[in-house]
Amino acid sequence: MFDDPQSPAWTPLLNAAWKARDHAHAPYSHFLVGAALLTASGEVVAGCNVENAAYPLALCAERGALSAAVASGLRPGGLVAVVVVTDVEALTPPCGACRQALVEFAGTLPVLLANRRTRELHRLEDLLPHSFTSGHLR
């Protein structure tokens, strides 16, 4: 279902990500990002980037969506898919911090990158090979 970037299964996530992107707070970079996660319970949770005048305090769309999902009850193993949308030419993957945050909840997560013209499908384990997980803490 989520192995084809053109699959209609992605439509609710894309719609939620684009809607969230419209609410992004990016007065400094003007780089608006939306993300949407699908949980194992079927819930679609969206997030957008939130910048701050103290630049290090900015929050990426992916981690914003992840925080909202955790607040709704998400636990490790509970993510099914994620979409990241931007309105720029180059498709934009999650940053390293977002990749690490996502791997805590699903190491084999399909990640769809999209803009208004193009979609590209990746797997989180390919975007973050040799990730640090809870298994390293034992």
User: Residue 134 pLDDT more than 90?
Assistant: no
Point out the catalytic residue in the list 62, 104, 120, 125: 62
Residue whose C-alpha is closest to residue 79's, from 99, 47, 60, 107: 107
87 CB neighbour count, 10 Å cutoff: 15
Q: Give the chain's domains with CATH numbers.
A: 10-131 (3.40.140.10)
Query: What is residue 1's predicted lDDT score, i.e. its pLDDT?
Result: 85
**Annotation marks residue 62 as catalytic:** yes
Using 50, 70 and 90 to split pLDDT, how confident is the model at 136?
A: confident
Could you tell me whether strands 79-86 and 110-114 are parallel, antiparallel, or unpaired per DSSP bridges?
Answer: parallel
